[in-house]
Amino acid sequence: MSTSLSALLTVRSLRKRHGERLLFDIDEFMLDAASAYVLTGANGVGKSTLLRILGGLEAAQVDSVSFDGHSFSLQPYPKALRTAIVYVHQHPIMFSTSVWHNIAYGLLARGESKAVVKKTVEEAMCWAGVDYLRDTEPARLSGGEKQRVALARARVLQPRLLLLDEPTANLDGSAREGVIALIPTLIEQGSTVVMACHDRDLIGLPGVQRLKLRDGRLEHRPHRTDDAAP
């Protein structure tokens, strides 16, 4: 992939092994600022692993990384990237407090003022449609509610890059539709969003570009409304 003036992230020579198995060997890939991507590929090719590497949750061999015009090493994972990149797990981990405190956690950890935290969390709960759950223990939430809380928890941090691992997996009906409806608004706020998924409706969202992991390589495909197969 060629270098772009709008590039947010450029990674060169990314290699990952699981034991003796070479999971992938990617020469170069680039993500543009304020853009949306779906990451597709067969089960087991390493979609979640790639997101976890970008989010600093898993190690890999990388020759160079450029983020927002600055060069970084991924080992150890730099604080600047930890602030700018947020990863949302397929099965979000919730603290056993309340929905409100789960969404507020990252802001409180950053030392934001109580006034800023209160205002930002209230807005995020309304955005995600979970304000009625503010005092609820996460153990009582449905799968769709947990995913919307996790998206709200990520949104309040205003990430430059948001990594979503199978955001609609195991959801159906209105729960799935509710999560899908939130994705475009994340992009509108200026985040680059990468979604590992097989969901045809996510793949078919307007303006979404497609990245496909196959045979250890990463292919970039321009958005096509008739190309929605995982």
Rounded-to-integer distance, Cα 80 and Cα 88, Å: 18
* pLDDT over 60 at 1, yes or no: no
Tally of domains within the chain: 1
- Domain of residue 30, CATH code: 3.40.50.300
Task: Establish if 160 belongs to a structural domain.
Answer: yes
Task: Establish if 2 belongs to a structural domain.
Answer: no
Long-range contacts of 65-74 (CB under 8 A, 24+ apart): 65/9, 65/10, 65/11, 65/12, 66/7, 66/9, 66/10, 66/11, 67/8, 67/9, 67/160, 67/161, 68/8, 68/9, 68/33, 68/160
pLDDT in tens, 52-93: 999 999 999 999 999 999 999 888 999 999 999 999 999 999
- Using DSSP, state whether 115 is helix, strand or coil: helix
Task: Establish if 193 belongs to a structural domain.
Answer: yes
Question: Domain range holding 50?
Answer: 7-221
Task: Establish if 229 belongs to a structural domain.
Answer: no
pLDDT in the model for residue 36: 93
Task: Establish if 166 belongs to a structural domain.
Answer: yes
Indicate the average pLDDT of the chain: 91
Rounded-to-integer distance, Cα 211 and Cα 30, Å: 10
